[in-house]
Amino acid sequence: MGNNTVKLLDVVALTVDLPHYNLWRGQVGTVVETLADGAAFEVEFSDRDGRTYESLGLRPE
Q: Please give the Cα distance from 61 to 4 (Å, whole number).
A: 10
What pTM did the predictor assign? 0.86
CA pseudo-torsion sign 60, 58, 31, 41: negative
Q: Please write the tens of the pLDDT for every residue from 3-55.
A: 568 999 999 999 999 999 999 999 999 999 999 998 999 999 999 999 999 99
Q: What is the pLDDT of residue 5?
A: 85
Q: How many C-beta neighbours within 10 Å does residue 54 have?
A: 14
Q: What is the pLDDT of residue 4?
A: 66
Q: Domain residues of the chain, as ranges?
A: 11-58
- Model confidence band, residue 1 (pLDDT cutoffs 50, 70, 90): very low
